[in-house]
Each structure stands twice: as structure tokens, then as C-alpha cells.
Amino acid sequence: MPLVASVAATASTIVFTGTDFKTTGYTARVSLNGIKADTVVTDSATQVTATWTLGVPVVVNATKPSLNFLLDGSRTAYWAKMTAEVTNPLTVTANT
């Protein structure tokens, strides 16, 4: 079973670190607050990078992202067990 140990968010990406990530024959999918990532790359059996073109979705309260691996040509999906959470509050940097 895929297990996420930690997540690290930037303005446009979330990097998942863990174990047993599916690397071949599976399509990784990520969403945060119901918004799917535009691209998801399984970098290795221990890292997945999800990117949102318009930036990581805004979430004020700590929220668990969703990571799963869909078996290619099937409906079978393996959901990653996760305790890590993301916060990404809206910030105003200028006001005119």
C-alpha cells in the first residue's frame, strides 16, 4: 500500500514523499480540495510531484490532499495512506 510520509507545497506544486509508490503500469492522480492537478509525475517509488498550472488550490484549514494510482487499462486504484496535510491560505501582497 502506498504510504505518504510528508508533503511539501510551493506556489504551483506539491511533492509527496513516501514509500511503495507505483512507478510502472499506473497513472498517478492528485487532487486538493476537489481540484485535480494538471500534471502528476511519479518521480520514483518514493516521490510524486503534482503541478497545478494556476497554482496550488487555496485552502485555509489544514487539508489532506488525495493521491492514488490507477492501474492502466483498469478501474483498480490504489489510494495512498496519508496523514500529511497542506495549508495554502490566500494572501494579499498589494492593495491599490
pLDDT tens readout for residues 12-44: 999 999 999 999 999 999 999 999 999 999 999
> Do the domain assignments include residue 73?
yes
- Nearest Cα to Cα of residue 7 among 26, 35, 32: 32
Residue type present at position 22: K
- Nearest Cα to Cα of residue 48 among 15, 20, 79: 15
> Do the domain assignments include residue 93?
no
Residue 48, strand partner residues: 16, 42
> Do the domain assignments include residue 96?
no
> Do the domain assignments include residue 36?
yes
pLDDT class for 95, splitting at 50, 70, 90?
Answer: confident
Q: Taking residues 72-87, what's their average pLDDT?
A: 92
Residue 90 pLDDT > 80: no
Q: What is the CATH number of the domain that holds 41?
A: 2.60.40
Query: How many domains would you assign to the chain?
Result: 1
Range of the domain at 41: 3-88
Across the chain, mean pLDDT equals 93
